[in-house]
Structure 1
Amino acid sequence: MSYSCIEVECNKHPLFEHCKRIRLEVFVGEQGVDADAELDDIDDYAQHFLITWRGDEGGKAVPVATMRIFHYEVPEQPEKLILKVGRIAVSQSFRAQGIGRRLMDAAEQYAKSQGRKDKKSGAFLFMHSQSDKQGFYKKCGYCVVRSAAQLDGLIDARTLREPDEAELKSLEFLEDGILHVKMAKFVPC
């Protein structure tokens, strides 16, 4: 049994159909997100990742998880390399097997490669996490952030104060009918 992580450049790549199917299965089928909101123009230029699973030697590779990453412009922070991670989806029968962690590791490797390419000392990974998934992302090193202006605090996590429970509730927002919070992580290159 083995897993592979494949980079899928933009939605024109033939493997993007697998990414799309997994996203529609998870976000539209399971969570009730509108299909028109799930697939958007960002897919045209985002870097997509697809994880496949092969049950035995020589067996067929089965697509099981996906995510996308794209350059995210923050007007107050134009000098920073900020990559937005999103559309993280794992097929239901493959959850709780470390696949989400594999996706997050792939995001970090991609951030490091982009940082080196752009001659940056590091990159910020930023996301809108579903509120009930933030525990997973915290285990991956992400912190809840109030705004993009707080990203500098991620370089030295000791300077970043986690919001208390009351403040955390005030930071939640609805996106596609699901509660989310902003989370980020600094990845040194």
Structure 2
Amino acid sequence: MLTATPHPFSVFPMSFSVVEVPSKEHAHFESCKKIRLEVFVEEQGVDADSELDDIDDHAQHFLITWKADSGENEIPVATMRMFSYDVPEQSGNLVLKMGRIAVVKSFRKHGLGRKLLEVAEHYAVSRSAEQQKPGVFLYLHSQSDKHGFYTRFGYSVVRSAAQLDELRDGKLIKEPDELELKSLEFVEDGILHVRMAKYIPCPFDQRKC
């Protein structure tokens, strides 16, 4: 039985809770793994050996669980992982890569994708404060047909992680048209993706971040 650890952004309607899973060795990682295998391997045909990789060893994972009002056991319904992403061109900036964002099919109408993005941004801000950075870049490889979802929440298509400074400086001010978007697509695990990112400034006084 899962036990959701109290979290500053873990209380959702309909008895949803967030569990922090700090490593692959954590007991709840098996639930994250199960969701990923169901969504990416069984539904989308991704190779299982590609889906589960060495990054899992050091990534920060998050799990959303659901518990019915009847008091039944908590059910794992969504997951995501985040980790520091080294980009030579961004050596002075904090870049966190989001990935393995998955929601089980029967729970895709409850806004859990949006909730995972909220979790990611809260985590990013806390990391920015810990490292005394003025802000943080959230970076991800979005499946092409999902890019509109991320756009709605302030994420922009970028050519590469090396371009992130332009995002922070406001130079990426328009979404690419359909032709431009096609030119930026690349294949990952047999699925078309585009690179996307969002800059989040530290909300605190920079001297205290």
Q: TM-score, normalised by structure 2?
A: 0.87
1:120 partnered with 2:120:
no
CA distance in 1, matches of 2:58, 2:70: 34
Deviation at 1:111, TM superposition (A): 0.3
Partner of 2:11: none
Q: Secondary structure at the match of 1:86?
A: strand
CA distance in 1, matches of 2:86, 2:169: 22
CA deviation vs aligned residue, 1:43-85 (integer Å, no higher than 9, x gap): 0000000000111163321100000000000011101100000
What is the correspondence of 1:91-106 to structure 2 with a 5 Å cutoff? 91-106=104-119
CA distance in 1, matches of 2:57, 2:70: 34
What residue ranges of structure 1 are gaps of 5+ in the alignment?
Answer: none
CA deviation vs aligned residue, 1:4-29 (integer Å, no higher than 9, x gap): 11110111001000000000000000
What is the correspondence of 1:1-80 to structure 2 with a 5 Å cutoff? 1-56=14-69, 58-80=71-93
Match of 1:107 among 89, 110, 120: 120
CA 1:25–1:150: 2 relative to 1, 3 Å = same
> Amino acid of the residue matched to residue 16 of structure 1?
F
Q: Secondary structure at the match of 1:76?
A: helix
Of 48-57 and 122-131, deviating more is 48-57
Partner of 1:138: 151
> Amino acid of the residue matched to residue 131 of structure 2?
D
What is the correspondence of 1:155-174 to structure 2 with a 5 Å cutoff? 155-157=168-170, 159-174=172-187
Partner of 2:103: 90
Q: TM-score, normalised by structure 1?
A: 0.96
Q: Tell whether the 8 Å contact from 1:172 to 1:181 is kept in structure 2 after alignment.
A: yes
> Amino acid of the residue matched to residue 138 of structure 1?
T
1:176 partnered with 2:189:
yes
CA distance in 2, matches of 1:60, 1:29: 24
Deviation at 1:168, TM superposition (A): 0.8
- Report % sequence identity: 65
CA distance in 2, matches of 1:57, 1:139: 35
Q: Secondary structure at the match of 2:20?
A: strand
CA 1:159–1:88: 2 relative to 1, 3 Å = closer
Q: How many residues align?
A: 189
CA distance in 1, matches of 2:98, 2:136: 12
CA distance in 2, matches of 1:116, 1:58: 38
